[in-house]
Chains A and B, each alone.
Chain A
């Protein structure tokens, strides 16, 4: 029987074609659905996005340059001209805080990426190969772990000197044991699966096995660690620069701005108030988002 083509049917067909195909249910999409339902996590995400925008558009938002010293307006209280006031050298604290977002987020991102490529990679290797390789790597990590993370980072800065690349290296080294442990655990969860065994049976090479089959399945957990470590590195960076190790003077990093204001705490507390608020908001937002991600990717871990 020939297919009939009435105008009404064509209309229905066109409508069907236009209708969106039902979304494929990938683990990522499922996680996003769970994440969306979590109000605190969404607040965290929104704040993080805002901070990213501030960091990207810092030169447009900041009314002054972060290191221009204006000796006519030193140590001024917050006003319309200087929203957060000025510091002892007449630098606009609002602009310094805005640029601080750029420096802190970029350095934290570098630290996290570096940590994943050092400690994280070691953990993945240890988890994948197991046996003697695992024992050797993890015993060495145990020794590193016996030194508190911040102390290790400070010792390394003492060797390398102050500066951004040095700080990234220091935080990378200091975080190696934690990173290795977390990523090893993530890989071990995948390691025992049946599909890994079958891939092994059909002769998938070791590198392809790690990169193509194991990492994509451990990626949810790794995202959680990634966001979590961004918060940790902002925390470490600001703590270290507050006590005067890590970054050098004109860098507008929040911990360093706090350090500048330390001497004037009694006369002009606003010098410390605003950078402190920036650190609080940032760390809190990253943690809210990280917590939401943990619940979203791994409801069982809750």
Chain B
């Protein structure tokens, strides 16, 4: 187990090197001079040259890249072109905000989705089942930002119940969480439904029925636990996707999270911040995937052999969205 974790963590190194190389490459081909960008349009040629020298922009790209990687090894992600603050210092508090929203949203989506999935499985092939599947699929197929806008129009503009943007009060968290949560219901509903149907066909459920258990008891005590195994895995994947894909939604609700930070940085061509954000997200995704795999073994020890033996095998990615 320890060796397996170590091996997975070592995989982080090539991924981080690769991610930073890609974004470094994008940075070098982007038109515009960061030095001029920092100093503004009235800066003299000498000032710009001095700034370029200070930022190390006159060195070859490879030298810049190696210097950047060496910095990361010391926990230095560079400084934001816009504010001059260290990128890491700017990102960490924003990560907290994003994490709160992501966790709340995933919890909301998972609870609603599992509930609907169980209903759908118990009422299989009836109109209830079809309705649940079609409605949850609607929310999955519509882009999150449109769902967010519609919710803003209903709850903020018309009913004046919740703020349209910002997170000054706890109320500000509700709409973004609801949006991400609702979009993911379909995934959970589908997984819960098929898993529940499979479990209900098992022998031990028939035994439980034979000894006269009530149907409710069978569903919620006997079947539920085994139904949850595939659901638990998709929670992990969803956490990663929601955190990485929160960029548009955080911009829609003007939530000061990592996603909005990266969007702002990209539009302002503030590359140290883009790099820092991208690396942060890559690290978090790899760690979440690892935790998911390990928790899988904890939930269902039978899987120990398949997951750990197939060392490089990754959990299946959900639909890219």
Contact = CB atoms under 8 A, between A and B. Distances in A.
A166 to B, nearest CB: 13
A144 B22 contact: yes
B182 interface: no
B26 A159 contact: yes
A146 B19 contact: yes
A96 B143 CA distance: 20
A147 B266 CA distance: 14
A142 B262 CA distance: 21
A231 B157 CA distance: 29
A272 B285 contact: no
A143 B14 contact: yes
Contacts of A159: 26, 29-31
Interface string A233-274: 001001110111100000000000010000001100100110
B23 interface: yes
Q: In the complex, which of the residues A148, A154, A155 has the most CB atoms of chain B within 10 Å of its own CB atom?
A: A148
Nearest to B150: A276
Closest 7 CB pairs of A and B: A143-B18, A287-B141, A148-B244, A146-B282, A178-B320, A235-B143, A239-B248
Interface of B: 14-15, 18-19, 22-23, 26, 29-31, 130, 134, 137-138, 140-146, 149-150, 152-153, 157-158, 164, 244-245, 247-248, 251-252, 262-263, 266-267, 269, 274, 278, 281-282, 285-286, 317, 319-321
16 contacts: A144-B18, A144-B22, A147-B19, A147-B22, A149-B320, A158-B269, A159-B26, A159-B29, A159-B31, A238-B146, A239-B144, A242-B252, A265-B164, A279-B146, A283-B143, A286-B141
Interface of A: 40, 139-140, 142-151, 154-156, 158-159, 175, 178, 181, 228, 231-232, 235, 238-240, 242-245, 258, 265-266, 269, 272-273, 276, 279-280, 283-284, 286-288, 291
Given A144-B22, A145-B317, 6 more contacts: A155-B23, A156-B26, A158-B267, A284-B138, A284-B142, A286-B141
